[in-house]
Structure 1
Amino acid sequence: MSLPRIAVDAMGGDEGVRVMVDGASMARRRHDKFKFLLVGDEARIKAALEDHPAMRSASEILHADEVVEGDEKPSRAIRRAKTTSMGLAINAVKEGECGAAVSAGNTGALMAMGKIALRTMPGLDRPALAGIMPTLGEQDVVMLDLGANTECDARNLVQFAIMGAAYARIVTGTATPRVRLLNIGTESIKGTDDLRDASQRLTDATGLAMQFDGFIEADKINRGEVDVVVTDGFSGNIALKAIEGSARFVTDLLRDAFTSSLRSKIGFLVSRPATELLKHHLDPNNHNGGVFLGLNGVLVKSHGSANAKGVANAVDVCARLLENDITQRIAADLAELGEDTLRHGANGGANGNGSAASSEAEAAK
């Protein structure tokens, strides 16, 4: 089986080239049919590959002199796309040399360059950033948008639901994912006009491989009652940061409690198996890899602070999406929905087109 290569921005992230190469090599052991394009400082990449002979034989190095800085404005990053490791990795996808790219670098720059270089798939107005979060259920939950689009209308939300469901079918194995819109209440009268409009369109739609269950409140996101949570990027990013902050608060609180006295330390030793399970469940490295869904190519964002295991999970996301042809799945679901459903409602086609223009403007800032 011949699969497209995966481009790795080896210079992105806080931990340096070695962690990116270690993580990519770890992922390759799970997906040994893939080849890689490692983009960045050639000498440093070669040094990192010395510990991974199998990865070395499966990789090509593309030298890049420059790196997109963590605080660099997207507009400047776009102008330097032809000389930076991030820009060259994305361009490899654009030119068909690779099917996917992964970077742990500047999120805003990655989003901006990805939108401009790869463009959105036909029938979609905007890409959306989707992530995976742990739940109390048997499956993780997919959530989008997590920050790519601060303002969205009903048409955008319907498209996000389709993309999120397609992604969930791949990562969770659920044939008909349960999809809900994030809202301030579950009653049909709650929320903005766009939320209620999107809910009605999804309720009326037929033939989609999803179960649309209306609205969900933020405190239920991680309960295991839903497979896909859909929202605009403004609300989604706030919800994500709140969940991540709560997880850190709980782990810090437990650490302080277990080290406060000798009795507490003894209690920690007794309960260590449970606390280790909690630590594993809340470790962001185990759910690393945000995907910009809706582009003509797979683009994955790894946490800047990810360790090798986290990078491996991000590369694993790339591989699974390529193996399951995520773009074809989204295209098929859009065709099933039909343009009439997307246009239905007070916030129809004109708003959708305006949203696309707005999204491109946001990317160039």
Structure 2
Amino acid sequence: MRIAVDAMGGDNAPKAIVEGIVLAAKEFKDIEFILYGDEVAINQYLDGEANIKIVHTDEKINSEDDPVRSIRRKKKASMVLAAQAVKNKEADALFSAGNTGALLTAGLLIIGRIKGIDRPGLLVTLPVMTKENSTFTLMDVGANADTKPENIHQYAILGTEYAKFVRGVEHPTVGLLNNGTEENKGNDITKRAFQLLKADKSIHFIGNVEARELLNGVADVVVTDGFTGNAVLKTIEGTALSMMQLIKSAIYDNGPKAKLGGLLMKDSLSGMKDVLDYSKHGGSVLFGVKAPVVKTHGSTEKEAVYFTIKQIHEMLASKVIDDLVEQFETKNTDQEK
């Protein structure tokens, strides 16, 4: 396995990126990491790992850069070179913590869509609060603000494949995010998407689901348009951070008794923090392109990088992309006949 890494992407690059890659390199000896970026800056954080190599470049894409223009004009940028390596089969996956729009553009324009998939979407894995070690998949969380019912139908197929191959869910349930559970709820897009999902016997569609039930594990895969999905994801992320801050303030701002109680509950609170920490489930996957393209937060630290590499390792080992290519290309061939 070979992973092309944009070592210069993100707020804490290259330090956090390289330190996270070093953690992963020690565990995943079957992965070769190709780091694209400033060789001198990257070498500061390496310790002679045999499965890490560097491809030097001085150019990088900044967070404020226009996504399409930067991909087309910055030909030697670390993200662009990493994407080209995947396109040329010199690497099997692309990882970055950099400019999200630029990474989506690189995935679509350089690596390319799987034939038959209209619009690849961003997929995330999030924790279920009511079941230990349980997760669900949400898609699309921001790749496409304007989405057709047919796109949502494809997200259900893509999400089902991811849940089966990567998360190991044998018969994943699929829910359509809506403003009510009744079949006639929603706008024109969700109503039409509902009928497409209902008619597809290859997926286990359970109907509409509401946002308040997501963290209770209402479905293994939840699909929606990119605008709604992004808003929901950021709401979940913000709520988790606010809850932890609220608990912390309640302990430290209310005298000795509260502090003693916090000390007695330290292990329980640590477990709660782990459940709320969505970064431990990996990054956002641009799913529907010809290779894994995975994004983690720009403010990420080394632990989140490690967990994202673990996620990519699972994707490559499961050969989920190969299965998608075969499934959609076969479907297209049959339709052309």
TM-score, scaled to structure 1: 0.86
1:10 to 7, 16, 24: 7
1:166 to 156, 161, 165: 161
**Cα distance in 2 between the residues matched to 1:30 and 1:199:** 43
1:319 and 2:313 matched: yes
Q: Aligned with 1:98: secondary structure? A: coil
Match of 1:358 in 2: none
Deviating beyond 4 angstroms after TM superposition, the runs of 4 or more aligned structure 1 residues are: none
Is this contact kept in 2: 1:157–1:231, CA < 8 A? yes
**Cα distance in 2 between the residues matched to 1:49 and 1:80:** 30
1:123 and 2:116 matched: yes
2:172 to 172, 177, 199: 177
Shift of residue 292, structure 1, vs aligned partner? 0.2
Match of 2:323 in 1: 329
Unmatched 5+ stretches in structure 2: none
1:82 and 2:79 matched: no
Match of 1:250 in 2: 243
2:88 to 95, 102, 112: 95
The one-letter code sitting in structure 1 at the alignment partner of 2:305 is V
**Cα distance in 2 between the residues matched to 1:60 and 1:222:** 40
Shift of residue 150, structure 1, vs aligned partner? 0.3
Q: Give 1:353-364 correspondences, 5 Å limit.
A: none
Shift of residue 249, structure 1, vs aligned partner? 1.5
Is this contact kept in 1: 2:66–2:102, CA < 8 A? yes
Match of 1:205 in 2: 200
Is this contact kept in 2: 1:290–1:300, CA < 8 A? yes
TM-score, scaled to structure 2: 0.93
- 1:159-199 residue CA offsets vs partner (Å, 9 max, x unmatched): 11111111112332111111111101110000122222222
Task: Report how many aligned residue pairs link the two structures.
Answer: 332
Q: Aligned with 1:12: secondary structure? A: coil
Q: Give 1:135-146 correspondences, 5 Å limit.
A: 135=128, 136-137=130-131, 138-146=133-141
The one-letter code sitting in structure 2 at the alignment partner of 1:163 is L
Is this contact kept in 2: 1:288–1:303, CA < 8 A? no
1:20 and 2:17 matched: yes
Shift of residue 25, structure 1, vs aligned partner? 2.3
Q: Aligned with 2:102: secondary structure? A: helix
1:111 and 2:104 matched: yes
The one-letter code sitting in structure 2 at the alignment partner of 1:286 is K
2:290 to 266, 290, 296: 296
The one-letter code sitting in structure 1 at the alignment partner of 2:9 is G
Is this contact kept in 1: 2:209–2:218, CA < 8 A? no
Shift of residue 19, structure 1, vs aligned partner? 1.9
**Cα distance in 1 between the residues matched to 2:27 and 2:85:** 23
Q: Aligned with 2:215: secondary structure? A: coil
Is this contact kept in 2: 1:139–1:227, CA < 8 A? no
Q: Kindly tell me: are residues 332 and 79 of structure 1, through their superposed partners in 2, closer, same or farther at Cα, counting changes over 3 Å?
A: closer
Q: Aligned with 1:66: secondary structure? A: coil
Greater Cα offset, 171-180 or 154-163 = 171-180
Shift of residue 240, structure 1, vs aligned partner? 0.6
The one-letter code sitting in structure 1 at the alignment partner of 2:50 is S
Unmatched 5+ stretches in structure 1: 343-365
Match of 2:281 in 1: 287
Match of 1:157 in 2: 152
1:187 to 173, 182, 188: 182
Match of 1:360 in 2: none
- 1:97-139 residue CA offsets vs partner (Å, 9 max, x unmatched): 1010100001111111221111210111011000111112242
**Cα distance in 1 between the residues matched to 2:45 and 2:193:** 48
Match of 1:29 in 2: 26
Is this contact kept in 2: 1:66–1:84, CA < 8 A? yes
The one-letter code sitting in structure 2 at the alignment partner of 1:188 is E
Shift of residue 255, structure 1, vs aligned partner? 0.9
Shift of residue 242, structure 1, vs aligned partner? 0.8
**Cα distance in 2 between the residues matched to 1:230 and 1:75:** 26
Is this contact kept in 2: 1:6–1:34, CA < 8 A? yes
Shift of residue 95, structure 1, vs aligned partner? 1.1
Q: Aligned with 1:22: secondary structure? A: helix
Q: Aligned with 2:265: secondary structure? A: helix
CA RMSD of aligned residues (A): 1.9
Is this contact kept in 1: 2:7–2:37, CA < 8 A? yes
Is this contact kept in 2: 1:288–1:310, CA < 8 A? yes
- 1:341-362 residue CA offsets vs partner (Å, 9 max, x unmatched): x9xxxxxxxxxxxxxxxxxxxx
The one-letter code sitting in structure 1 at the alignment partner of 2:320 is I
Match of 1:49 in 2: 46
Match of 1:58 in 2: 51
**Cα distance in 2 between the residues matched to 1:29 and 1:164:** 30
**Cα distance in 2 between the residues matched to 1:321 and 1:104:** 18
